């Protein structure tokens, strides 16, 4: 049975990448050593990390005045690192509360002593649409504006960035990182854990504009941008395997036509499911159409028990991990880069069949 | 050609573990999903992380009042986490300066605002012997005493722990973690990156006594012990693959007779090399005999150019990564748990042959 994995992350990876990892596992590049065993100070790893950086630069058209860094600790680590490194002038940031992960980012910054102004929130709308800028803001007041470009749990995404005047924009791109095109120049800083669209859990990419990185004392070294820039992300032992695996996915992404190519596929995949849901009399997605995510699609029937039946029957049919996040309920299909169109077709066929039987 | 990898870490792993990872890669436990793709919220991963915890508990005889946690960020992350979580009463710690990594731990704590008293240092002896406690200390003055049980670069190890009175002992065990027996009860906290004796880079084990963990505000969540205890090390997405791979090494370690079994082998391996070096007229190890490490053995000739020749010729013979750390020079053989006796024999034979030719 073909298995399709709709998990919200860690998530499905391209088959050819899994195959390549498997083939290269006992001996990387004929070295007689596994990627799990090589030193991060070796020429082999130097090539791996620098190639991965170059491929990110190529794929996202990263300008020369931005650094590309690899951290451990996930998006949650960056919820701390970004304010510690960047909120050093006003100690005050602005935030658009678009859901769970935006809230978490704001809470972490506040806990570290930064004043967080939530400019708009769609909590009262159950985050089924995106918050927008209620008024102009200025760099005279804020170190940056934090947004979550794609809301993994709620299923919304900014396809147009909010107006942010001269305020530095910080984007948590984790769940649509390289799944949809953004202009790096529009951001002062971008971060994303790779475990959704780009690789296994264990590494987070940070892309930061050079002039924003200042010397900051009294913060943990593993969250210090200046140190990581100086040491090419190898201030301490980096997560060698996760960077290697991400590098393979980046090569695969180039073969798919880069981000433009994969975005076109992601549009097709998500439209297939949204079109079905919008026609269905049983299932529905409640997200405002212009704000719908390409990568995370929550949906439900009106009956929580029936939702459970659908999830169980889908699991039996090889359609895995469709349970929605507990805060939203129902089902959620995550259609990240490596989910093939065939997987979405199989899901839609299954849902269609279930609805007819019902 | 058989390749033996003497790297100081990331380092050689057991062949059967590499083989098992390779076999299980496309489909873990018949799930149709790779370990790189499964959710950390899945039952499969829950079993993996809990089994790894239990195996650490079994192998190290961890008492019930200690927590076993998995962090990202390596030993360097813990250099920050330990003072942030534990140095909350006196904001003052004691440290024995046994080398590079002890210094780094002290610097990180000091940078985070903790007063660090270096009670003894063997820097003037080029760290070729261990520092010892110059006088009794008391918990009335110090939150803890930090030691590095094994000094990866300098090649020393505490086989007997220093007297520490009623002061909590914190041990950075990274480079002899589960390579040599210690009593967990002697420590308040132990940490170790797994990338030397236990797995691939990307996960760090922390073992901490329950009463030491307090609620601490204003520190990054990814370094917060209380949060990680509450969430079974899954406050955020953990490094799934690195924990899985470590779990396989733990099972392998049990098959080797546990830590007592591997320590006996490590004694045998290191004695083989030390005995050769002590007899050799060309090569020598300058570490005080009672302080010699089982896992990291630096040695050299009296001629840096000749050292380079040895390293190059050894590399050609499949004996890899013997270059010493730049601060010490010469050569270094790291003989971690997964290095077989045959690898050390091959190295000794090579050095013996080189010496005769010379």
Query: What is the residue-level pLDDT of chain A in tens, covering all 358 positions?
Result: 899 999 999 999 999 999 999 999 999 999 999 999 999 999 999 999 999 999 999 999 999 999 999 999 999 999 999 999 999 999 999 999 999 999 999 999 999 999 999 999 999 999 999 999 999 999 999 999 999 999 999 999 999 999 999 999 999 999 999 999 999 999 999 999 999 999 999 999 999 999 999 999 999 999 999 999 999 999 999 999 999 999 999 999 999 999 999 999 999 999 999 999 999 999 999 999 999 999 999 999 999 999 999 999 999 999 999 999 999 999 999 999 999 999 999 999 999 999 999 8
Tell me: is residue A237 an annotated ligand-binding position.
Answer: yes
Of B13, B75, B202, the CB nearest to A34: B13
Three-state SS letters, chain A: CCCEECCCCCCCCCHHHHHHHHHHCCCHHHCCCCCCCCCCCCHHHHHHHHHHHHHHHHHHCCCCCEEEEEECCHHHHHHHHHHHHHCCCCCEEEEEECCHHHHHHHHHHHHCCCEEEEEEECHHHCCCCCCCCCCCCCCCCCCEEEEECEECCCCEECCCCCCCCCCCEEEECHHHCCCCCCCHHHCCEEEEECCCCCCCCCCEEEEEEHHHCCCCCCCCHHHCHHHHHHCCCCCCCCCHHHHHHHHHHHHHHHHCCHHHHHHHHHHHHHHHHHHHHHHCCCCECCCCHHHECCCEEEEECCCHHHHHHHHHHHHHCCEECCECCCCCCCEEEECCCCCCHHHHHHHHHHHHHHHHHC
Q: Could you give the CA distance from residue B324 to residue B332 in angstroms, rounded to a whole number?
A: 5
Instruction: Compute the distance between CA of residue A163 and CA of residue A171 in angstroms, rounded to an integer.
Output: 13
Alpha-carbon distance B256 to nearest alpha carbon in chain A (angstroms): 20
pLDDT at B235: 96
Per-residue model confidence (pLDDT) at position B43: 94
- What 8-state DSSP symbol labels residue B100? H
Is A216 at the interface with chain B, CB within 8 A?
A: no
Average pLDDT (B156-169) is: 97
A9 in contact with chain B, both atoms CB, cutoff 8 A? yes
Mean pLDDT of chain B: 97
CB spacing of B39 vs A321 below 8 angstroms? yes
Q: Taking CB atoms and an 8 Å limit, are B25 and A18 in contact across chains?
A: yes
Report residue A163 CA to chain centroid gap: 22
- The CA distance from A346 to the nearest CA of chain B, in Å, is 16
Residues from chain B contacting residue A76 (CB–CB below 8 Å): 221-222, 235-236
Q: Do A222 and B73 touch (CB under 8 A)?
A: yes
Is B128 annotated for ligand binding? no
Q: Which residues of B touch A39 (CB under 8 A)?
A: 7-10, 321
Token pair recorded at residue A72 = 């451990």
Residue B3 touches chain A, beta carbons under 8 Å: yes
Subunit contact B241:A202, Cβ cutoff 8 A: yes
Beta bridge partners of B320: B5
Confidence check: pLDDT of B1 > 90: no
From the CB of residue A160, how many other CB atoms can be counted at a distance below 10 Å? Answer: 9
Chain A contact probe: residue of B78, B222, B346 with most A CBs at under 10 A: B222
Whole-number mean pLDDT of chain A? 97
Active-site residue A252, yes or no?
no
Inter-chain contact B239–A72, Cβ cutoff 8 Å? Answer: yes
Is-contact B187 B36, C-beta < 8 A?
Answer: no
* H helices, E strands: number in chain B: 9, 13
Chain B contact set for A19 (CB, 8 A): 26
Q: Name which of B324, B347, B319, B331 is nearest B5 in CA terms.
A: B319
pLDDT at B85: 98
Structure-token pair, residue B329: 């020079």
- Chain A residues with CB-CB distance to B340 below 8 A: none
A326 annotated to a ligand binding site: no
**Which residue is associated with the tokens 């090390």?**
B233
Residue matched to tokens 């922390």: B206
**Are B11 and B334 spatial neighbours (Cβ–Cβ below 8 Å)?**
yes
**Taking a contact as any Cβ pair under 8 Å apart, which residues of chain A between 83 and 142 contact chain B?**
84, 108, 111-113
Partners of A334 on chain B (C-beta within 8 Å) are none
Q: Does A10 sit within 8 Å of B39, measured CB to CB?
A: yes
Residue A1 has a pLDDT of: 84
- Contact check, Cβ <8 Å, B218/A112: yes
- Asked if B202 has any chain A CB less than 8 Å from its own CB, the reply is yes
Residue B195, marked binder: yes
Spatial separation of the C-alpha atoms in residues B204 and B208, rounded to whole Å: 13
Rounded CA separation A215/A229 (Å): 11
Q: Is B296 helix (H, G, I), strand (E, B) or coil?
A: strand
Q: Phi and psi (nearest 5°) for B9?
A: 125, 135
Q: Which residues of B are known to be catalytic?
A: 101, 172, 196
Sign of the dihedral defined by the CA atoms of residues A326, A328, A329, A333, in that order: negative
Q: Which of A31, A40, A84 sits opposite B201 (nearest CB)?
A: A40
pLDDT tens by residue, B66-77: 999 999 999 999
Supply the pLDDT for residue B60: 98
- Does residue A195 have a known ligand-binding role? yes
- B325: exposed, middle or buried (Cβ count in 10 Å: 0-12, 13-18, 19+): middle
Task: Tell me the torsion sign for CA atoms B208, B211, B215, B216.
Answer: negative
* A14 shares contact with chain B (CB less than 8 Å): no
A103 is in an annotated binding site: no
* The pairing of beta strand A189-193 with beta strand A204-209: antiparallel
pLDDT band at B250 (very low <50, low <70, confident <90, very high): very high
Instruction: Test B76 with A2 for CB contact under 8 angstroms.
Output: no
Please indicate if any CB of chain B lies within 8 Å of the CB of A221: yes
pLDDT at B358 over 90: no
Q: Which residue has the tokens 């190295």?
A: B347
Q: Identify which of A234, A179, A225, A186 has the alpha carbon closest to the alpha carbon of residue A206.
A: A225
Residue numbers of A between 222 and 281 with CB closer than 8 Å to B: 222-223, 235-242, 245
Q: What pLDDT sits at residue A358?
A: 85
- Distance from the Cα of A321 to chain B's closest Cα (Å) equals 8
B343 has a chain A CB within 8 A of its CB? no
Side-chain-facing half-sphere of B67: CA atoms under 13 Å: 19
A130 phi and psi angles, rounded to 5 deg:
-90, 145
**A341, two tokens:** 């169109």
Contact between residue B73 and residue B239 where contact means Cβ atoms under 8 Å apart: no
Q: Per the structure block, which two tokens stand in for A120?
A: 């708009």
* Dihedral in degrees, nearest 10, Cα atoms A47, A52, A63, A142: -120
Q: What does the block give as tokens for B267? A: 């004694």
A324 has a chain B CB within 8 A of its CB: no
Q: If you count residue pairs, one on A and one on B, with CB atoms under 8 Å apart, how many are there?
A: 207
Q: Residue A43: closest CA among chain B residues belongs to which residue?
A: B321
> A236 contacts in B (CB within 8 Å)?
73-77
CA distance to partner chain A, nearest, from residue B273 (Å)? 22
Using a CB–CB cutoff of 8 Å, tell me whether B77 touches chain A: yes
């Amino acid at each position: 049975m073909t298995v399709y994995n709709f998990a919200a992350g860690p998530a499905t990876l391209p088959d050819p990448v899994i195959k390549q990892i498997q083939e290269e596992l006992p001996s990387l590049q004929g070295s007689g050593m596994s990627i799990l065993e090589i030193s991060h100070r070796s020429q082999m790893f130097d090539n791996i990390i620098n190639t991965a950086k170059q491929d990110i630069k190529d794929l996202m058209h990263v300008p020369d005045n931005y650094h590309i860094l690899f951290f451990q600790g996930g998006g949650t680590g960056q919820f701390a690192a970004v304010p510690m490194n960047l909120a050093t002038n006003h100690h005050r940031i602005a935030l658009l509360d678009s859901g769970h992960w935006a809230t978490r980012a704001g809470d972490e910054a506040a806990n570290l002593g930064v004043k967080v102004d939530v400019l708009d929130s769609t909590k009262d709308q159950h985050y089924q649409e995106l918050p927008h800028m209620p008024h102009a803001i200025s760099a005279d007041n804020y170190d940056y504006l934090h947004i979550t470009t794609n809301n993994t749990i709620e299923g919304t995404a900014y396809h147009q960035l909010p107006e942010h005047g001269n305020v530095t924009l910080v984007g948590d791109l984790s769940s649509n990182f390289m799944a949809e095109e953004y202009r790096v120049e529009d951001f002062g800083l971008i971060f994303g854990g790779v475990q959704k669209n780009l690789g296994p859990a264990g590494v987070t990419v940070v892309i930061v504009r050079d002039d924003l990185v200042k010397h900051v004392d009294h913060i943990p070294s593993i969250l210090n941008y200046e140190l990581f820039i100086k040491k090419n992300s190898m201030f301490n032992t980096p997560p060698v395997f996760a960077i290697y695996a991400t590098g393979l996915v980046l090569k695969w992404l180039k073969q798919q036509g880069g981000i433009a190519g994969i975005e076109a596929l992601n549009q097709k995949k998500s439209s297939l499911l949204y079109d079905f849901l919008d026609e269905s009399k049983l299932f529905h997605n409640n997200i405002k159409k212009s704000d719908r995510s390409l990568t995370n699609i929550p949906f439900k029937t009106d009956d929580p028990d029936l939702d459970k039946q659908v999830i169980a029957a889908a699991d039996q049919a090889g359609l895995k991990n469709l349970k929605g996040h507990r805060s939203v309920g129902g089902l959620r299909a995550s259609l990240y880069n490596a989910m093939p169109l065939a997987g979405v077709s199989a899901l839609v066929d299954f849902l269609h069949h279930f609805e007819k039987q019902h």
